[in-house]
Amino acid sequence: MSSGIRATVTFDTPAGCSVARFSAAADAEIDSVATSVATSGAAVTEFLVDDASRPESGADAVDGSPSQCSGEQVEPVADAEPVFSYGSADVYRVEHAGDCPCTCLGQFDCPIHRFLASPTELTVVFHAETFEQLQDVTAALRERFPSMDVQQLLQPPLSGSPEDRRFVNCGKLTDRQQEVLRTAYDRGYFERPRGANATELAAELGISQSTFAEHLTAAQRKLFGDVFDDG
């Protein structure tokens, strides 16, 4: 069985996400590690909110008036009532529905590991079984949420010390750079002896050899910046 891939992606706060709307209404950051995704595609999230950040009765998240998320008018979280109290914080449980990244991940049966919402940004950490599934999921997410950005990709087991580990952000690459790099990799361009040369690959991609070299160099430079921690 594949060990899977853990991906961290961010979005401008999606208007369709219940927890993101709650975060915007409460003007509070919500950090959850208890989000579950059912095979039906439904996602349920439990999270803690300090009493001081809890929307008062009649506030945007509970009274039916719209709140603002990334400049968009959005519907309130109608059932945002605490399940129980835990010390100075309240525990909430909401179900995601509609146009939300969590429901999209549920449709692909991708478990969510962590969920972080602020009034301006949503971060989701999820697991994909294979690289192919990851490609399908990220393509679907980007189509529905153009602001999506891939922050980290992690595939265990890891070797070396924590200081030796690097996260490569493939989201830095343009679609053309990814296509050129993937084609070069698939055709054995980086192997010795090479499975294909630059002239053959450029012809396959329908571009000039100089354009091929330009895209390949740019893609490698971006990825090497992550590997060598150049920011």
Here the CATH number for the domain that contains residue 201 is 1.10.10
Q: Spell out a b/e string for 61-82, using b for 16 or more CB atoms within 10 Å of the CB, else e.
A: bbeeeebebbeeebebbeebee
pLDDT exceeds 70 at position 193: yes
**Which residue, 145, 164, 183, sits at the end of a domain?**
164
Calpha distance 122→31 (Å, rounded): 10
Instruction: Kindly tell me if the per-residue pLDDT of 150 is higher than 80.
Output: yes
Residues 122 and 142 reside in one and the same domain: yes
User: Which one of 164, 179, 195 terminates a domain?
Assistant: 164
* Whether residue 212 sits in one domain with residue 179: yes
**One domain for residues 65 and 141:** yes
> What total number of domains does the chain contain?
2
Residue of 77, 70, 75 lying closest to 22 (CA atoms): 77
Mean pLDDT of 161-188: 81
User: Helices 209-227 and 175-186 sit at what angle, rounded to 10 degrees?
Assistant: 90
Domain identity same for 133 and 37: yes
Q: CA angle, 119 as apex, 67 and 153 as ends, to 5°?
A: 135
> Range of 49's domain?
5-164
Q: What angle do CA 152, 153, 159 make, to 5 degrees?
A: 115
Sheet holding 36-37, edge to edge: 36-37, 43-50, 89-96, 82-86
User: Amino acid identity, residue 64?
Assistant: G
Check whether 99 has a pLDDT greater than 50: yes
User: 116-144 pLDDT, tens per residue?
Assistant: 888 788 888 888 888 888 888 988 998 88
16 pLDDT band, cuts 50/70/90, is confident
Indicate whether 153 and 40 sit together in one domain.
Answer: yes
Q: Helix 198-205 to helix 209-227 angle, to the nearest 10 degrees?
A: 100
Q: Among 164, 182, 212, give the residue marking a domain's end.
A: 164
Residues 156 and 177 in one domain: no
CB atoms within 10 A of CB 27: 12
Are 158 and 201 contained in the same domain?
no
Claim to verify: residue 113 and residue 160 sit in the same structural domain: yes
pTM for the model stands at 0.55
Q: Are residues 143 and 46 in the same domain?
A: yes
Asked if 189 and 144 sit in the same domain, the reply is no
Closest CA to 2 of 155, 114, 186: 155
Same domain, yes or no: 46 and 110:
yes
Q: What is the pLDDT of residue 18?
A: 79
99 and 158 belong to one structural domain: yes
